[in-house]
Structure 1
Amino acid sequence: MELAVLKHTGEDTGRKVSLSAEIFGIEPNDHAIYLDVKQFLANQRQGTHKSKERNEIAGSTKKIKKQKGTGGARAGSLKSPLFRGGGRVFGPKPRDYSFKLNKKLKVVARKSALTYKAQESSLSVIEDFAFDAPKTKSYINLLNGLSLTDKKTLFVLPEVNKNIYLSSRNLKNAKVVTVDDLNTYDVLNADTLLLSEGSVSKLETLLLKK
Protein backbone atom coordinates (compact mmCIF):
# COMPACT_ATOMS: atom_id res chain seq x y z
CA MET A 1 0.00 0.00 0.00
CA GLU A 2 1.37 3.40 -0.98
CA LEU A 3 0.37 6.81 0.33
CA ALA A 4 1.38 10.25 -0.84
CA VAL A 5 3.59 12.18 1.56
CA LEU A 6 2.09 15.57 2.37
CA LYS A 7 3.72 18.74 3.63
CA HIS A 8 2.47 20.08 6.95
CA THR A 9 0.80 22.83 4.92
CA GLY A 10 -1.30 20.24 3.11
CA GLU A 11 0.58 20.31 -0.21
CA ASP A 12 1.76 17.15 -1.94
CA THR A 13 5.51 16.61 -1.81
CA GLY A 14 5.44 14.40 -4.90
CA ARG A 15 6.87 11.50 -2.91
CA LYS A 16 5.16 8.33 -1.76
CA VAL A 17 5.75 6.01 1.15
CA SER A 18 5.08 2.29 1.16
CA LEU A 19 3.11 0.92 4.12
CA SER A 20 3.70 -2.67 5.17
CA ALA A 21 0.82 -5.05 4.45
CA GLU A 22 1.78 -6.93 7.63
CA ILE A 23 0.66 -3.90 9.65
CA PHE A 24 -1.85 -2.01 7.53
CA GLY A 25 -3.29 -4.89 5.52
CA ILE A 26 -3.95 -7.80 7.87
CA GLU A 27 -7.25 -9.53 8.60
CA PRO A 28 -8.55 -7.47 11.55
CA ASN A 29 -9.12 -9.33 14.80
CA ASP A 30 -12.11 -7.66 16.47
CA HIS A 31 -11.84 -9.68 19.67
CA ALA A 32 -8.21 -8.64 20.15
CA ILE A 33 -9.29 -5.02 19.69
CA TYR A 34 -12.07 -5.49 22.25
CA LEU A 35 -9.70 -6.92 24.86
CA ASP A 36 -7.04 -4.26 24.30
CA VAL A 37 -9.53 -1.38 24.52
CA LYS A 38 -11.16 -2.97 27.57
CA GLN A 39 -7.77 -3.17 29.28
CA PHE A 40 -6.89 0.42 28.36
CA LEU A 41 -10.14 1.78 29.81
CA ALA A 42 -9.90 -0.43 32.89
CA ASN A 43 -6.38 0.80 33.58
CA GLN A 44 -7.64 4.41 33.56
CA ARG A 45 -9.97 3.76 36.49
CA GLN A 46 -8.78 5.01 39.87
CA GLY A 47 -10.83 2.47 41.78
CA THR A 48 -11.12 4.78 44.80
CA HIS A 49 -14.91 4.40 45.18
CA LYS A 50 -16.06 3.61 48.71
CA SER A 51 -19.31 3.47 50.66
CA LYS A 52 -19.74 2.84 54.39
CA GLU A 53 -21.08 -0.42 55.72
CA ARG A 54 -23.08 -0.62 58.94
CA ASN A 55 -19.98 -1.17 61.08
CA GLU A 56 -18.47 2.10 59.76
CA ILE A 57 -21.47 4.37 60.37
CA ALA A 58 -21.14 6.86 63.25
CA GLY A 59 -24.10 6.73 65.60
CA SER A 60 -25.65 5.23 68.71
CA THR A 61 -25.86 1.48 69.16
CA LYS A 62 -28.87 1.83 71.45
CA LYS A 63 -31.81 -0.39 70.58
CA ILE A 64 -34.34 1.96 68.98
CA LYS A 65 -37.52 0.22 70.15
CA LYS A 66 -38.58 -2.77 72.15
CA GLN A 67 -38.31 -6.19 70.63
CA LYS A 68 -41.99 -7.13 70.71
CA GLY A 69 -45.41 -5.55 70.85
CA THR A 70 -44.94 -2.71 68.35
CA GLY A 71 -46.69 -4.41 65.46
CA GLY A 72 -43.65 -3.90 63.26
CA ALA A 73 -40.50 -5.75 62.47
CA ARG A 74 -37.87 -5.92 65.17
CA ALA A 75 -34.99 -3.45 64.81
CA GLY A 76 -31.83 -3.20 66.82
CA SER A 77 -29.84 -0.30 65.33
CA LEU A 78 -30.22 2.86 63.28
CA LYS A 79 -27.11 1.73 61.39
CA SER A 80 -29.16 -0.99 59.70
CA PRO A 81 -29.20 -0.77 55.88
CA LEU A 82 -33.01 -0.68 56.12
CA PHE A 83 -32.99 2.84 57.58
CA ARG A 84 -32.16 6.15 55.95
CA GLY A 85 -28.58 7.05 56.86
CA GLY A 86 -27.71 3.44 57.61
CA GLY A 87 -24.87 1.45 56.12
CA ARG A 88 -24.94 0.08 52.60
CA VAL A 89 -25.09 -3.64 51.91
CA PHE A 90 -22.26 -4.92 49.68
CA GLY A 91 -21.22 -1.39 48.75
CA PRO A 92 -18.25 -0.56 46.52
CA LYS A 93 -14.78 -0.86 48.00
CA PRO A 94 -11.41 0.41 46.66
CA ARG A 95 -10.07 -2.05 44.09
CA ASP A 96 -7.66 -2.33 41.20
CA TYR A 97 -9.44 -2.79 37.86
CA SER A 98 -6.30 -3.32 35.79
CA PHE A 99 -5.50 -6.67 34.22
CA LYS A 100 -2.78 -8.07 32.00
CA LEU A 101 -2.80 -9.10 28.35
CA ASN A 102 -0.24 -10.96 26.29
CA LYS A 103 2.09 -8.69 24.34
CA LYS A 104 1.41 -10.55 21.09
CA LEU A 105 -2.33 -10.01 21.46
CA LYS A 106 -1.80 -6.27 21.99
CA VAL A 107 0.34 -6.15 18.84
CA VAL A 108 -2.40 -7.88 16.86
CA ALA A 109 -4.94 -5.38 18.24
CA ARG A 110 -2.81 -2.39 17.16
CA LYS A 111 -2.25 -3.86 13.71
CA SER A 112 -6.00 -4.47 13.38
CA ALA A 113 -6.80 -0.88 14.38
CA LEU A 114 -4.26 0.48 11.89
CA THR A 115 -5.68 -1.78 9.18
CA TYR A 116 -9.16 -0.39 9.78
CA LYS A 117 -7.84 3.16 9.42
CA ALA A 118 -6.14 2.22 6.15
CA GLN A 119 -9.31 0.55 4.84
CA GLU A 120 -11.37 3.64 5.74
CA SER A 121 -8.85 5.97 4.04
CA SER A 122 -8.54 7.79 7.35
CA LEU A 123 -4.76 7.72 7.26
CA SER A 124 -2.30 10.37 6.06
CA VAL A 125 1.49 10.59 6.04
CA ILE A 126 3.09 13.97 6.81
CA GLU A 127 6.70 14.82 6.08
CA ASP A 128 8.87 15.39 9.12
CA PHE A 129 8.85 18.99 10.35
CA ALA A 130 9.35 21.01 13.50
CA PHE A 131 7.91 24.21 14.97
CA ASP A 132 10.32 26.96 16.02
CA ALA A 133 8.29 27.56 19.17
CA PRO A 134 5.20 26.08 20.83
CA LYS A 135 2.21 27.94 19.40
CA THR A 136 -1.34 26.65 19.25
CA LYS A 137 -1.92 28.75 16.13
CA SER A 138 0.83 26.82 14.32
CA TYR A 139 -0.94 23.53 14.95
CA ILE A 140 -4.29 25.03 13.93
CA ASN A 141 -2.70 26.11 10.64
CA LEU A 142 -1.48 22.52 10.20
CA LEU A 143 -5.03 21.19 10.63
CA ASN A 144 -6.42 23.87 8.32
CA GLY A 145 -3.94 22.95 5.61
CA LEU A 146 -5.00 19.30 5.86
CA SER A 147 -8.73 20.22 6.03
CA LEU A 148 -9.05 18.51 9.41
CA THR A 149 -10.22 21.42 11.55
CA ASP A 150 -13.47 19.71 12.58
CA LYS A 151 -12.01 16.22 12.83
CA LYS A 152 -10.62 14.36 15.82
CA THR A 153 -6.99 13.70 14.95
CA LEU A 154 -4.15 11.60 16.32
CA PHE A 155 -0.67 12.66 15.22
CA VAL A 156 2.04 10.01 15.65
CA LEU A 157 5.67 11.13 15.95
CA PRO A 158 8.80 8.95 15.90
CA GLU A 159 10.09 10.60 19.08
CA VAL A 160 9.15 13.33 21.52
CA ASN A 161 8.87 16.78 19.97
CA LYS A 162 8.10 19.26 22.73
CA ASN A 163 7.08 22.16 20.47
CA ILE A 164 4.58 20.10 18.47
CA TYR A 165 3.16 18.51 21.60
CA LEU A 166 2.71 21.82 23.44
CA SER A 167 1.20 23.41 20.32
CA SER A 168 -1.55 20.78 20.23
CA ARG A 169 -2.22 20.49 23.96
CA ASN A 170 -4.92 23.17 24.14
CA LEU A 171 -6.94 21.74 21.25
CA LYS A 172 -9.82 19.51 22.30
CA ASN A 173 -9.84 17.21 19.26
CA ALA A 174 -6.10 16.99 18.66
CA LYS A 175 -3.72 14.54 20.29
CA VAL A 176 0.00 13.96 19.70
CA VAL A 177 1.77 10.76 20.74
CA THR A 178 5.00 8.97 19.95
CA VAL A 179 5.18 5.55 18.29
CA ASP A 180 6.11 3.98 21.63
CA ASP A 181 2.93 5.37 23.26
CA LEU A 182 0.56 4.45 20.44
CA ASN A 183 -2.38 2.36 21.63
CA THR A 184 -5.43 0.74 20.06
CA TYR A 185 -7.96 2.98 21.83
CA ASP A 186 -6.43 6.25 20.58
CA VAL A 187 -6.17 4.93 17.02
CA LEU A 188 -9.84 3.94 16.89
CA ASN A 189 -11.01 7.01 18.79
CA ALA A 190 -9.54 9.37 16.20
CA ASP A 191 -11.36 10.28 12.99
CA THR A 192 -8.06 10.66 11.16
CA LEU A 193 -4.66 9.18 11.91
CA LEU A 194 -1.64 11.30 10.94
CA LEU A 195 1.72 9.57 10.69
CA SER A 196 4.90 11.58 10.39
CA GLU A 197 7.17 10.17 7.72
CA GLY A 198 9.79 9.13 10.25
CA SER A 199 7.25 7.28 12.38
CA VAL A 200 6.34 4.84 9.59
CA SER A 201 9.65 2.97 9.66
CA LYS A 202 9.79 3.06 13.46
CA LEU A 203 6.26 1.68 13.62
CA GLU A 204 7.25 -1.21 11.36
CA THR A 205 10.32 -1.91 13.50
CA LEU A 206 8.21 -1.95 16.67
CA LEU A 207 5.33 -4.09 15.42
CA LEU A 208 7.27 -6.49 13.21
CA LYS A 209 10.11 -7.34 15.55
CA LYS A 210 10.38 -11.02 16.33
Structure 2
Amino acid sequence: MKVAVLDIKGKDTGRKAELSDSVFAIEPNNHAVYLDVKQYLAHQRQGTHKAKERGEIAGSTRKIKKQKGTGTARAGSIKSPIFRGGGRIFGPRPKDYTQKLNKNVKRLARKSALTIKSKENAIVVLEDFSFDAPKTKDFIEVLKSLGLENKKSLFVLGDSNNSVYLSSRNLERSEVVTNSELSTYKILNANNIVLLEGSLEGIEATLNK
Protein backbone atom coordinates (compact mmCIF):
# COMPACT_ATOMS: atom_id res chain seq x y z
CA MET A 1 0.00 0.00 0.00
CA LYS A 2 1.50 3.32 -1.08
CA VAL A 3 0.84 6.60 0.75
CA ALA A 4 1.86 10.12 -0.24
CA VAL A 5 4.64 11.68 1.83
CA LEU A 6 3.82 15.17 3.09
CA ASP A 7 6.12 17.93 4.31
CA ILE A 8 5.57 19.96 7.50
CA LYS A 9 3.56 22.47 5.47
CA GLY A 10 1.05 19.72 4.66
CA LYS A 11 2.00 19.68 0.97
CA ASP A 12 2.67 16.58 -1.13
CA THR A 13 6.40 16.06 -1.68
CA GLY A 14 5.76 13.94 -4.76
CA ARG A 15 7.23 10.87 -3.08
CA LYS A 16 5.38 7.73 -1.98
CA ALA A 17 5.95 5.61 1.12
CA GLU A 18 5.31 1.88 1.03
CA LEU A 19 3.24 0.63 3.98
CA SER A 20 3.63 -3.10 4.41
CA ASP A 21 0.40 -5.09 4.03
CA SER A 22 1.65 -7.45 6.76
CA VAL A 23 1.45 -4.57 9.25
CA PHE A 24 -1.12 -2.10 7.93
CA ALA A 25 -3.55 -4.38 6.06
CA ILE A 26 -4.13 -7.54 8.09
CA GLU A 27 -7.38 -9.00 9.40
CA PRO A 28 -7.74 -7.19 12.76
CA ASN A 29 -7.90 -9.41 15.83
CA ASN A 30 -10.19 -7.62 18.28
CA HIS A 31 -9.48 -9.98 21.17
CA ALA A 32 -5.72 -9.40 20.91
CA VAL A 33 -6.39 -5.65 20.91
CA TYR A 34 -8.56 -6.02 24.01
CA LEU A 35 -5.91 -8.03 25.89
CA ASP A 36 -3.11 -5.58 25.04
CA VAL A 37 -5.14 -2.50 26.01
CA LYS A 38 -6.21 -4.19 29.25
CA GLN A 39 -2.58 -4.97 30.10
CA TYR A 40 -1.48 -1.40 29.32
CA LEU A 41 -4.16 0.12 31.56
CA ALA A 42 -3.44 -2.38 34.34
CA HIS A 43 0.24 -1.41 34.27
CA GLN A 44 -0.69 2.23 34.86
CA ARG A 45 -1.91 1.30 38.36
CA GLN A 46 0.68 1.72 41.13
CA GLY A 47 -0.98 -0.73 43.47
CA THR A 48 0.25 1.15 46.56
CA HIS A 49 -3.20 1.54 48.15
CA LYS A 50 -3.19 0.58 51.84
CA ALA A 51 -5.42 1.00 54.89
CA LYS A 52 -4.44 0.12 58.46
CA GLU A 53 -6.13 -2.85 60.06
CA ARG A 54 -6.69 -3.23 63.80
CA GLY A 55 -3.29 -4.89 64.30
CA GLU A 56 -1.51 -1.86 62.80
CA ILE A 57 -3.31 0.92 64.69
CA ALA A 58 -1.40 2.72 67.44
CA GLY A 59 -3.45 2.62 70.61
CA SER A 60 -3.94 1.05 74.02
CA THR A 61 -4.75 -2.65 74.23
CA ARG A 62 -6.43 -2.48 77.63
CA LYS A 63 -10.00 -3.62 77.96
CA ILE A 64 -12.01 -0.38 77.76
CA LYS A 65 -14.91 -1.46 80.00
CA LYS A 66 -15.99 -4.44 82.03
CA GLN A 67 -17.36 -7.47 80.25
CA LYS A 68 -20.79 -7.56 81.87
CA GLY A 69 -23.29 -5.27 83.49
CA THR A 70 -22.98 -2.18 81.28
CA GLY A 71 -26.10 -2.84 79.23
CA THR A 72 -24.15 -2.41 76.02
CA ALA A 73 -22.17 -4.72 73.78
CA ARG A 74 -18.93 -6.10 75.17
CA ALA A 75 -15.77 -4.41 73.82
CA GLY A 76 -12.15 -5.35 74.32
CA SER A 77 -10.00 -2.84 72.44
CA ILE A 78 -10.18 0.80 71.35
CA LYS A 79 -8.56 -0.35 68.08
CA SER A 80 -11.65 -2.33 67.13
CA PRO A 81 -13.06 -1.40 63.70
CA ILE A 82 -16.42 -0.47 65.26
CA PHE A 83 -14.88 2.54 67.07
CA ARG A 84 -13.89 5.85 65.53
CA GLY A 85 -10.13 5.75 64.86
CA GLY A 86 -10.06 1.98 64.87
CA GLY A 87 -8.68 -0.27 62.17
CA ARG A 88 -10.47 -0.86 58.89
CA ILE A 89 -12.14 -4.18 58.13
CA PHE A 90 -10.89 -5.84 54.92
CA GLY A 91 -9.16 -2.64 53.82
CA PRO A 92 -7.14 -2.37 50.59
CA ARG A 93 -3.67 -3.88 50.59
CA PRO A 94 -0.73 -3.31 48.20
CA LYS A 95 -1.17 -5.33 45.02
CA ASP A 96 0.79 -5.97 41.85
CA TYR A 97 -1.51 -5.39 38.86
CA THR A 98 0.98 -6.39 36.16
CA GLN A 99 -0.26 -8.91 33.62
CA LYS A 100 1.72 -11.19 31.37
CA LEU A 101 1.00 -11.19 27.65
CA ASN A 102 2.67 -13.20 24.91
CA LYS A 103 4.92 -11.13 22.62
CA ASN A 104 3.24 -12.52 19.52
CA VAL A 105 -0.16 -11.41 20.85
CA LYS A 106 1.19 -7.91 21.51
CA ARG A 107 2.58 -7.68 17.97
CA LEU A 108 -0.72 -8.89 16.55
CA ALA A 109 -2.58 -6.30 18.63
CA ARG A 110 -0.39 -3.43 17.40
CA LYS A 111 -0.71 -4.56 13.78
CA SER A 112 -4.48 -4.82 14.23
CA ALA A 113 -4.63 -1.30 15.68
CA LEU A 114 -2.55 0.12 12.81
CA THR A 115 -4.77 -1.69 10.30
CA ILE A 116 -7.87 -0.19 11.92
CA LYS A 117 -6.39 3.31 11.64
CA SER A 118 -5.33 2.62 8.06
CA LYS A 119 -8.88 1.61 7.11
CA GLU A 120 -10.14 4.83 8.71
CA ASN A 121 -7.64 6.83 6.57
CA ALA A 122 -6.26 8.19 9.82
CA ILE A 123 -2.57 7.58 9.02
CA VAL A 124 -0.38 10.34 7.60
CA VAL A 125 3.22 9.86 6.47
CA LEU A 126 5.39 12.91 7.08
CA GLU A 127 8.95 13.53 5.99
CA ASP A 128 11.49 13.63 8.81
CA PHE A 129 11.82 17.06 10.41
CA SER A 130 13.38 18.79 13.40
CA PHE A 131 13.44 22.20 15.06
CA ASP A 132 16.45 24.40 15.79
CA ALA A 133 15.17 24.80 19.36
CA PRO A 134 12.16 23.46 21.29
CA LYS A 135 9.22 25.79 20.62
CA THR A 136 5.59 24.85 21.16
CA LYS A 137 4.39 27.39 18.58
CA ASP A 138 6.49 25.69 15.88
CA PHE A 139 4.84 22.35 16.63
CA ILE A 140 1.41 23.99 16.59
CA GLU A 141 2.17 25.30 13.08
CA VAL A 142 2.86 21.73 11.96
CA LEU A 143 -0.46 20.61 13.46
CA LYS A 144 -2.30 23.44 11.68
CA SER A 145 -0.70 22.54 8.36
CA LEU A 146 -1.85 18.93 8.74
CA GLY A 147 -5.33 19.90 9.95
CA LEU A 148 -4.77 18.26 13.34
CA GLU A 149 -4.87 21.29 15.62
CA ASN A 150 -8.03 20.25 17.47
CA LYS A 151 -7.62 16.48 17.19
CA LYS A 152 -5.80 13.88 19.25
CA SER A 153 -2.63 13.09 17.33
CA LEU A 154 0.23 10.66 17.81
CA PHE A 155 3.57 11.44 16.13
CA VAL A 156 5.87 8.45 15.69
CA LEU A 157 9.58 9.20 15.26
CA GLY A 158 12.28 6.87 14.01
CA ASP A 159 14.79 8.04 16.64
CA SER A 160 14.37 10.21 19.70
CA ASN A 161 14.37 13.91 18.85
CA ASN A 162 14.52 16.13 21.90
CA SER A 163 13.51 19.35 20.17
CA VAL A 164 10.37 17.81 18.66
CA TYR A 165 9.45 16.01 21.88
CA LEU A 166 9.86 19.11 24.07
CA SER A 167 7.93 21.24 21.56
CA SER A 168 4.90 18.96 21.89
CA ARG A 169 5.06 18.28 25.62
CA ASN A 170 2.74 21.12 26.67
CA LEU A 171 0.03 20.15 24.18
CA GLU A 172 -2.68 18.03 25.77
CA ARG A 173 -3.97 16.52 22.52
CA SER A 174 -0.62 15.64 20.93
CA GLU A 175 1.97 13.06 21.89
CA VAL A 176 5.36 12.22 20.40
CA VAL A 177 6.85 8.73 20.72
CA THR A 178 9.55 6.70 19.01
CA ASN A 179 8.66 3.54 17.11
CA SER A 180 9.91 1.44 20.04
CA GLU A 181 7.42 3.18 22.38
CA LEU A 182 4.42 2.56 20.14
CA SER A 183 1.59 0.76 21.93
CA THR A 184 -1.87 -0.48 20.97
CA TYR A 185 -3.52 1.85 23.49
CA LYS A 186 -1.74 4.95 22.16
CA ILE A 187 -2.60 4.06 18.57
CA LEU A 188 -6.30 3.64 19.32
CA ASN A 189 -6.46 6.61 21.68
CA ALA A 190 -5.39 9.02 18.93
CA ASN A 191 -7.66 10.31 16.18
CA ASN A 192 -4.76 10.49 13.73
CA ILE A 193 -1.38 8.78 13.51
CA VAL A 194 1.49 10.74 11.96
CA LEU A 195 4.33 8.43 10.93
CA LEU A 196 7.63 10.05 10.10
CA GLU A 197 9.46 8.40 7.21
CA GLY A 198 12.28 7.32 9.49
CA SER A 199 9.91 5.34 11.69
CA LEU A 200 8.46 3.06 9.01
CA GLU A 201 11.40 0.70 8.73
CA GLY A 202 11.65 0.29 12.50
CA ILE A 203 7.90 -0.34 12.92
CA GLU A 204 7.83 -3.00 10.21
CA ALA A 205 11.02 -4.66 11.47
CA THR A 206 9.66 -4.83 15.03
CA LEU A 207 6.18 -6.10 14.14
CA ASN A 208 7.28 -8.61 11.49
CA LYS A 209 9.63 -10.59 13.73
Shorter-chain TM-score range:
over 0.9
TM-score (norm 2): 0.95
Q: CA deviation at 1:204?
A: 1.0
Q: Secondary structure at the match of 1:39?
A: helix
Q: Distance in 1 between matches of 2:73 and 2:32?
A: 53
Q: Distance in 2 between matches of 1:71 and 1:30?
A: 63
User: Which moves more between the two structures, 33-42 or 51-60?
Assistant: 33-42
Q: Secondary structure at the match of 1:154?
A: strand
Q: What are the Cα deviations for residues 16-44 of structure 1, in whole angstroms up to 9, with x where unaligned?
A: 22211111111111111111112112222
Are 1:89 and 2:89 counterparts? yes
Residue equivalent to 1:116: 116
Q: Distance in 1 between matches of 2:122 and 2:85?
A: 53
Q: What are the Cα deviations for residues 100-131 of structure 1, in whole angstroms up to 9, with x where unaligned?
A: 21110100110111111111111111011221
Q: Distance in 2 between matches of 1:5 and 1:79?
A: 69
Q: What are the Cα deviations for residues 170-193 of structure 1, in whole angstroms up to 9, with x where unaligned?
A: 111111111111111111111111
In the alignment, structure 2 segments of 5+ residues that lack a partner are none
Are 1:32 and 2:32 counterparts? yes
Q: Secondary structure at the match of 2:88?
A: coil
Matched AA of 1:58: A
Q: CA deviation at 1:148?
A: 0.6
Query: How do residues 47-196 of structure 1 correspond to structure 2 at under 5 angstroms?
Result: 47-196=47-196
Matched AA of 2:97: Y
Q: What are the Cα deviations for residues 33-73 of structure 1, in whole angstroms up to 9, with x where unaligned?
A: 11111211222222211110001111121222221233332
Q: How many equivalent residue pairs? A: 209
Q: CA deviation at 1:99?
A: 2.1
User: Which moves more between the two structures, 119-128 or 12-21?
Assistant: 12-21
In the alignment, structure 1 segments of 5+ residues that lack a partner are none
Query: How do residues 5-24 of structure 1 correspond to structure 2 at under 5 angstroms?
Result: 5-24=5-24
Matched AA of 2:156: V
Q: Secondary structure at the match of 2:52?
A: coil
Q: Distance in 2 between matches of 1:119 and 1:128?
A: 24
